Amino acid sequence: MRRFVRLALTVSSVLAAFLARPTIGAAQGVTTGAISGVVSDSAGGTIEDAVVRVSNLATGFNRTVTTRSNGSYFVGGLEIGRYRVSVTAIGFRPGAVNEVRVALTQTVRADLALVRQAVQIQDLVTVALADAAVFAPTRTGPQTTISDSQVARLPTLNRQLQDFIRISPQVTTNPGAGGELSAAGQSNRYNSIQVDGTTQNDRFGLGDTGELGGQAGGRGISLEAIKEYQIVVSPFNVTQGGFTGALVNAVTKNGTNRFTGSAFYTFRNQELATNDPFIAQNKFSIKQFGGSIGGPIIQDKLHFFVAGELNRSTRPAGGPFVGQQGVSGANAVRVDQATVDRFNAALAQYGIEGGSGASQSNDNPVGNFVARLDWQVSPTSRVVIREIYNDQKADDFSRSAATFALTSNRFKRSEQVNSLTGQFFKTFGNGASNEFQIGFIRQRFARAFDQIGPQITVTNINSPTVSGQTVNLRAGPDSSSHVNQLDQDFIELRNDLTFPVGGGNHLITVGTRNDFYKVRNAFWQNAFGSWGFSSLDDLEAGIPNRYAVGVAVGDDPVARFRAANVSFYVQDQWTLNPDFSLTLGLRAEAPIFLDEPGFRPEVERDFGRRTDKVPSNFTFNPRIGFNWDVSGTGSTQLRGGVGFFAGTPPYVWLSNLFTNNGLSGISQFTCDGSSGRPAPPAFNTESVQSAPQVCAGGVGPTTGANIGAVNTVDPNYKQTQVLRASLGGDHRLPWGLIGTFDALYTKSYNSPFIVNLAMGEPVGTDFAGRVMYGTIAANGRATTNCATPNIYSCGAFDLRNSSNDYAYSISGGLTKRMAGSLEASMFYTYGRSYSVQDFTSSVARSNFQNGRVTALNQYDDRAGVSSYDRPHRIAAAVTWTAPWKDYGTDISLIYGGQSGTNFTYIYQSQTIGGNLIGDLNADGFFGNDPVYIPNTASEYTYEQYTGPLVTNGPNATVTPALQAAAFDEFISSLDCLDKQRGQIQSRSSCRNPWFNSLNLSVRQSLPGLGGHRISLQADIYNFLNFLNNDWGQYRQNTRFSQVNLLPVRGFTAEGRPIVRFDPRLTDRDFAFAKNLSSTNYWQGQVTARYSF
């Protein structure tokens, strides 16, 4: 009891000391910043009723406030930029602080000490510190700010935000998956991108980059229009929400009192790139050009800014091609022209045009346009109107060594986005301010083909060019793109009212953000059918082994629904004293579906789920953050906090409820004769022209009692929600350096999780302890124990929540803001990420199949290593300006090094005797069964075959003894496998090699005239590869989280798989081959820029 009393007295004394000191406000907006401070006299006393005038040095916009009784002042709602703060008071010499830089969402401190005077003399002027925003009292969590100077100087491959976001220590990348970025160990779909406060990310959740326009290789906004943006993962300010990964918060440039403009042209092609055959034998050309202009319409009153750019790119299609040279090993082309000709001839029998196997390129034209108008209506009112229009198109075609597609499998993507935003800022005499925002977004996306027809896949063809390898051949329109269109319309409304309470030491914000959403999603997989054949002989004879079709159910197979995401929040930014501030807030939000799917009573009867109900459940997200200026001099700060964050759900996961409910939408049906399913229908010219809607015997989803696969949802399901805590600090070091550390912990409270309700109870375990959901016959065919009645094609995929995901990281590094000739940052991050299931797909069935590779019970929701786990990462960005005054030279670079992507080795399915085998747990899904790692390789039974023993070697007899010895060597060479001997490989426990990326830029200013500036810039992307052909190469066995290791050739009488092992996998270059992508090779780029 005495200890408690002493503790209470100590805390009370500390708080009393804090509260006895002058306090200042610290509120700031989502798209703006603020300036606050204390005006005092030379003796340290505070000055009441001093007049503080804040003027934007570029636009002339100004605001005037008076200090409170404790000498504090606060000016919020300020446009990002540089300001002059001037102060006058009766009986004091005027003072001013120049070059106060206001950063996005931060409150910058600008204190002034005035000297008493009897007569007017020259003002006392000081200059603000360049890094004042870093030590802002409102900074609580880790953040990375990218200024317009960094955007202009640092090398950028595609002129998009993702090129710079990767500078953030809390962000990791997947080099094999385009612009996919993971923050704080979370899915790339959990990020949010805002431009001028309006959400610019694809809320349906399809593109890797997350940007609107990203599905067609575009970008959300022209870099020419970016003024500043920041990446935050734990802002404890509750006005920021809608994410559980990272928030990318950008603001656009505005016009000023001077006319300014720019024009640029960027070019690169094969002549400025590696002479590797992958680039040299394909078309490669990228041209980017654009510009901007801005200025006054009325000085100090009305300004405009417009920007636009066009991108015309042609890049090699990924993967091998017939006639390819210089590539060997795992990525070597496995077909020849004779095989392609035979495939085309077989297809022609049925009226199908296959296409070419030669090298191909993908075109990707992109256009981005931005216009903005800023109006200072009055000294207390400001209006901003901003318009963004994006138009992008992209060819989509690629091959892999294992699956060789002909050009009829190509499709085209097109996407148009229109975004209009209005912001209205108002300040009041009592220090209160209000920001109202309204935004409208219209997006249209579609995929298109040159021809209509089914997808044809022929599996397990012996390669005529690579000994011992097999290859799949594919032709016809991509089955996931047969009908694929997406229309999205958004209306966003946000209002934040901020007002001081208690003498100004409390700044209260009350606000709301409401998003209204309307979607039309026409996603019809297998609309024209998808046929599988076990050999070219079977194709020629018209004998399929598999057929999949999407059958329209009801009158409208298209998902159409309206939804809203509503949020309300209240916050107190409490400045206990100039050195310590707290941010306390509560944010409540919920998705609300305004339309409902159809009701199928059988689903409620069998699984207790109503198909016509989409849950709308509130989440409550309290947060508290702090910032402590430890030294009281702004040289050392400690910051942190803890709170809940909830993300707007990717609507694609919930749209499945509208398209797969058994009453309307699309029912996917598979005919392959396995797991109690019927055999494929007849394959002929008629079935090619008109996709059969039933299997052999007339069985289909619309016949009899059959419903087909359905999607359901737990009525208690909630949007993604995490608890996040952070602790960090910053310290000023000599030479203008700042040392920073950040520790971050994330624990899920509501994460999505999918189970298959139509799959029956386990029937036991196999020899390795794998949970079995059916039986495997002597011929290897698996039969799943489906729930009764089996009218759902053994598929009822239920979306629910789990709460076992977690991630943590700790990072440390140095930064130096632009002051003199150098701006730099360098950070190292160690982090781990664990999840129950990774939602890497838009389709429920695919997420169930591939979201986690496990041998456990499907309801076992223990966490495993996430697909977004990257333990080690180094990120650095440096810009150096040469010391000569005339015709400046800038040298800049961006380096990123990180752990490779992780994966699980799995059993590979094979067609043996007309049966597709390899479903080790008999759950009806192939490609998701992790391998058993034997104590000794002799525990497996191996099938002898003919093939090479070494990479590019001649064919030989690969005996069981040779395979066992090679497999044992392979296991020993990989620590991730060697330490798991005697057990089934745990999920994602193996990893691709470390990846390095270094981009270099040199910019040279040329003689100009009368304020007109000209510069030339040379960039080299993947500079390490430029220095050495073996450097800068991303090696991976696949971009996916499952890697085929052991082809299943049958089963022993004891139920153990009979397998093959390829001895070439003991060669690391074969096991982890170079990724065939243009970004894996060095490229040069030249840019000419004019500005005034």
Q: Render pLDDT for 906-940 as a digit per residue (tens, 0 to 9).
A: 999 988 887 889 999 999 999 999 999 999 999 99
Q: Report the SS3 class of residue 140.
A: coil
Summarize pLDDT for 92-150 with one digit per residue, the tens: 888 888 888 888 888 888 888 888 775 444 455 555 555 656 788 888 999 998 887 78
3-state helix vs strand vs coil in the chain, percent to 5: 15, 45, 40
Please give the distance of CA 697 from its chain centroid, rounded to a whole number. 45
Q: Report the SS3 class of residue 845.
A: helix
Lay out the sheet containing 192-195: strands in order across: 143-147, 226-232, 247-252, 192-195, 198-199
Lay out the sheet containing 546-553: strands in order across: 403-405, 470-475, 455-462, 530-533, 546-553, 665-671
Q: What is the 3-state secondary structure (H, E, C) of 810-830?
A: EEEEEEECCCCCEEEEEEEEE
**Tokens for 903?**
């994966």
Q: Are 408 and 184 in contact (CB under 8 A)?
A: no
Give which of 232, 25, 250, 191 is closest to 726, Cα–Cα: 232
Categorize the per-residue pLDDT at 294 as very low, low, confident or very high, splitting at 50, 70 and 90.
very high
pLDDT in the model for residue 361 = 92
Compare 283 and 737 and report the one with higher pLDDT: 737
pLDDT in the model for residue 440 = 96
Candidate from 76-80, 581-585, 764-768, 776-780 with smallest mean pLDDT: 76-80
Is the whole-model pTM more than 0.95?
Answer: no
Kindly tell me if the per-residue pLDDT of 16 is higher than 50. Answer: no
Using CA atoms, how far apart are residues 810 and 727, in angstroms rounded to an integer? 9
Average pLDDT over residues 459-484: 90
Q: Are 175 and 870 in contact (CB under 8 A)?
A: no
Name residue 1035's amino acid.
R
**Residues 906, 911, 912, 915, CA torsion sign:** positive
Name residue 1057's amino acid.
P
Using CA atoms, how far apart are residues 583 and 393, in angstroms rounded to an integer? 45
**Residues 718, 489, 200, 211, CA torsion sign:** positive
Using CA atoms, how far apart are residues 301 and 683, in angstroms rounded to an integer? 72
Give which of 179, 202, 162, 177 is closest to 650, Cα–Cα: 202
**Tokens for 653?**
């996961």
**Tokens for 157?**
């491959």
Residues facing 669 on adjacent strands: 549
Cα atoms in the 13 Å half-sphere on the side-chain side of 790: 15
254-288 burial: b if 16+ Cβ within 10 Å, else e: bbbbeebbbebebbbbbebbbebebbbbbbbbbeb
Percent of the chain's residues with pLDDT above 90: 60
In degrees, to the nearest 5, what angle opens at C-alpha 1034 toward C-alphas 1031 and 1035? Answer: 105
Q: Is 75 exposed, middle or buried (0-12, 13-18, 19+ CB in 10 A)?
A: buried
Kindly tell me if the per-residue pLDDT of 547 is higher than 80. Answer: yes
Q: What is the 3-state secondary structure (H, E, C) of 663-676?
A: CCEEEEEEECCCCC
Q: What is the 3-state secondary structure (H, E, C) of 226-268?
A: EEEEEEECCCCCCCCCECCCCEEEEEECCCCCCCEEEEEEEEE
pLDDT in the model for residue 180 = 80
Q: Are 759 and 786 in contact (CB under 8 A)?
A: yes
Categorize the per-residue pLDDT at 5 as very low, low, confident or very high, splitting at 50, 70 and 90.
very low
Average pLDDT over residues 667-695: 87
pLDDT in the model for residue 944 = 95
Using CA atoms, how far apart are residues 346 and 706, in angstroms rounded to an integer? 34
Q: How far is CA 117 from CA 41, 42, 123, 127, in A?
A: 11, 11, 11, 22
Name residue 753's amino acid.
F
Kindly tell me if the per-residue pLDDT of 31 is higher than 90. Answer: no
Secondary element (H or E) of residue 1068? helix 1068-1071
Summarize pLDDT for 649-660 with one digit per residue, the tens: 789 999 989 988
Q: What are phi and psi of 851, to 5 degrees?
A: -65, -30
Q: Are 223 and 151 in contact (CB under 8 A)?
A: yes
Summarize pLDDT for 590-647 with one digit per residue, the tens: 889 999 998 999 999 999 999 999 998 889 999 999 999 998 888 999 999 999 999 9
pLDDT in the model for residue 132 = 59
Q: How far is CA 10 from CA 16, 487, 630, 773, 1011, in A?
A: 10, 60, 18, 62, 62
pLDDT in the model for residue 8 = 33
Using CA atoms, how far apart are residues 378 and 939, in angstroms rounded to an integer? 83
Average pLDDT over residues 883-900: 90
pLDDT in the model for residue 788 = 76
681 cis-preceded (ω within 30 degrees of 0) = no
Kindly tell me if the per-residue pLDDT of 305 is higher than 60. Answer: yes
pLDDT, mean over the chain: 89
pLDDT in the model for residue 702 = 64
- Residue-wise DSSP of 523-580: EETTTT-EEEESSHHHHHHT--SEEEEEEEESS--SEEEEEEEEEEEEEEEEEEETTE
Using CA atoms, how far apart are residues 802 and 791, in angstroms rounded to an integer? 28
Kindly tell me if the per-residue pLDDT of 1091 is higher than 70. Answer: yes
**Tokens for 496?**
């934040």
Cα atoms in the 13 Å half-sphere on the side-chain side of 486: 26
Please give the distance of CA 233 from its chain centroid, rounded to a whole number. 13
pLDDT in the model for residue 1041 = 87
Using CA atoms, how far apart are residues 751 and 834, in angstroms rounded to an integer? 12
pLDDT in the model for residue 649 = 72
Compare 290 and 669 and report the one with higher pLDDT: 290
Structural domains of the chain, ranges and CATH numbers in brackets: 21-127 (2.60.40.1120), 143-257 (2.170.130.10), 260-725 (2.40.170), 902-1087 (no CATH)
Contacts of 824 (CB under 8 A, 6+ apart): 814, 815, 816, 876, 877, 878, 879
pLDDT in the model for residue 17 = 37
DSSP tag of 645: E
**Tokens for 430?**
């009592």
Contacts of 369 (CB under 8 A, 6+ apart): 222, 306, 307, 308, 387, 388, 389, 390
Residues facing 293 on adjacent strands: 261, 306
Q: How far apart are the first and last CA of the chain?
A: 72
Average pLDDT over residues 964-973: 96
pLDDT in the model for residue 128 = 52
Kindly tell me if the per-residue pLDDT of 328 is higher than 80. Answer: no
Percent of the chain's residues with pLDDT above 70: 95
Summarize pLDDT for 229-280 with one digit per residue, the tens: 889 999 999 999 999 999 999 999 999 999 999 999 999 988 888 887 777 7
